[in-house]
Structures are given as structure tokens and as C-alpha cells.
Structure 1
Amino acid sequence: MKSYPEHLQIVNTFHELGETIAAAQFLIEEYGLENANFKGFELREKAKPEFILMTTEGALGEPQIIRIPENTFEYPLHLMLNLLMHEMIHVSQKTKENLVEDKNEREWQAYFEMLFHVKFPQVPELPDFHKRFFAKKALEYYNRMGEGSELQLKYANQKLETDNLLSFLEAKIQ
């Protein structure tokens, strides 16, 4: 695998050429995020710094499309890589073999991976600012699973890890 600076240079070249989809495809291949259930990328409206939306679309059990902003690579590469990884996790969750029907569970799993990189350790870590933001998002979805529900019990240990990470990050900024 190429180094992160090499990836950055290649992605910037794609970006300058207006080849957003080619850049995203390059990254999922380089970082081993491919999945047979992935149908391809499509572009959506431009993102704003405070709101970058990527979505995985398609019926459960069917091939999935990931829609990314046309200006995806105007933003930090480490953040875009983590967001692409998040969406590729959704692609995997929507396969017949790995089907995760509950949206809260899907989001919990994807945000947890963004924080701890269990399945994809090759994806660069996020800075603390982003980790705090995504830890809070993960906990929102955990809370939506229902107080004391089977899903909450299933992820209780991961929640503790997330709580500990968030506490650590909060203490660092005080």
C-alpha cells in the first residue's frame, strides 16, 4: 500500500481533474474497504464544512450505491476516508449474509468502527475533535435502541468503551 502522503497526492490530482468518483474508488481499493455488495458511487450536492452527507442507498439484501458530495475531496482526507469506511460498513450490513435490519444498530456499528478501527485498522485515525463528535453521534444511536433493550445489552461493552473514550477526550480539552 502507498503511504498516506502518496494517497493525498493522488486524491488531490483526481480532485483537480474533477474525478471525485475515481478518487473515492481508488481509496476504497487502497484501504481494503471493497465489498461485493457495492454497486458504485454517485454524486450528490456539494457539502458544506458543517454538514458533509454521504449515504448508502439500496434495498436491504440488494447491491448498494454510495452517494458522496461532488466536492468530497475539498475536505481533510483522513475525515473523508473515515466517512467512506462508515458507508462501506453500511454496504456490508445490507448484504443477505450480514443483514443488520435495525438502523440504530447499523449506525452504532459504523460509528464505533470510526472511533476504534477494529475491522479496518489501516484507515487513519481521526483527530480528537472528530472523535468527540462521532462518539456523541454513536451514543445517540445507542440511546435510540431503547433503554435496557436486547440491542443495548448486546453493545453494552462497546458503549462502555465509547463512554470511556469520550470522558478521556473531554478531560483533555479542560
Structure 2
Amino acid sequence: MKRYLITSREHYSDTPAVFRSILQESLKKHLPDYALYRDKSNPHYATQADHFLDVCKNFYGLKTFLHQDYKLAAKLGAVGVHLTSMEFETIVLAKELGLEVIVSTHTKEEVLKAEELGANYVTYSPIFSTPNKGEPKGIKALQEVLKSCKIPIFALGGILTQEQIEQISEVNPYGFASIRYFY
């Protein structure tokens, strides 16, 4: 099962040297297959994204993604972009730039729409209880969505423990994504 590390300002800081150090340690400790630089409020997002990609290039085979800004992702040489569930129209534009696309989804319909529009992967969330993310979907809902599509799905939301990862792996998604598990 693939592992997808997602950064968050409250765990990684927006001070470049601190960010780089924490990210380096997280990547070294967990060896994820995918990593996303996500920081919705950093006014220096492009600079920090460049630091993110610089640290990540030291980890062979790690696929790097930037959040929402597909033009910046292409310019800086990220593998792809992670779009929100409100950005389906951007899938084609990102793909035209040669980027892989991950889309955040929360319903079976959104998963199917992302698949139809050519996204490479989706996250489906929240699986477990997560602050400010609504009612958890649970493993059973994840299993049902997996049966309805072919697109690779990362389970996301409230994944903090190895036990939760083992529960998720029983329904055989492509992988899992988390912020707090990797911190």
C-alpha cells in the first residue's frame, strides 16, 4: 500500500530552515511514496514549495505534488498537483502541462467524476474522525467506493496509527494519505 505524506503549516512551520529539517526527518523516518506541499496561508508559498522540492529530490522514487497551483507545479518541476474537490475543471489543464493529478473527493460521485475527467488518483475522505472534516465515512464506505471505480484511491482522514492503516489495508486501496501520521 502506497504512503502519501501531506504537509501542514502547524506541523512543519513556514520558516525555511525549520521546514526543511522537519520535512527531511519525516521523509527519512517514514519513506513515503508520495509527498504533497500543502500550506493554504503561506504568503511565500512558491519559495517554500521550492524548498520542499529541493528536500524531496534526495529521496529516490518519491513523487512530489504541490497543492492547487498547477502552473507553479509545472514550473518548479513537481511530478504533479493535488486539486480540491472544487477544481475538477483544472484536471485537463494540469494534464496538458504533463502533470499527474490527484483530486480530493468526499463522495462516490466525485470519485467517478475525477476518474472520468482523467485524474491519476484521488483521495477519499474522511475515513476516520478528523477535526473540522465532518462525519467520518468509515472503512465500509471506502470499500464500496473502491468497488465502483478503477482510479487509484488514497484513503485519507484521521489516520494516525498502524492499527488504522491495517484496517484500511484490508479493503485494498491504492494507499493512504495523512498529515499527522507522518509528523
TM-score w.r.t. the length of structure 2 is 0.29
Larger Rg: 1
Higher helix share: 1
Higher relative contact order (CA 8 A, sep 6+): 2
TM-score w.r.t. the length of structure 1 is 0.30
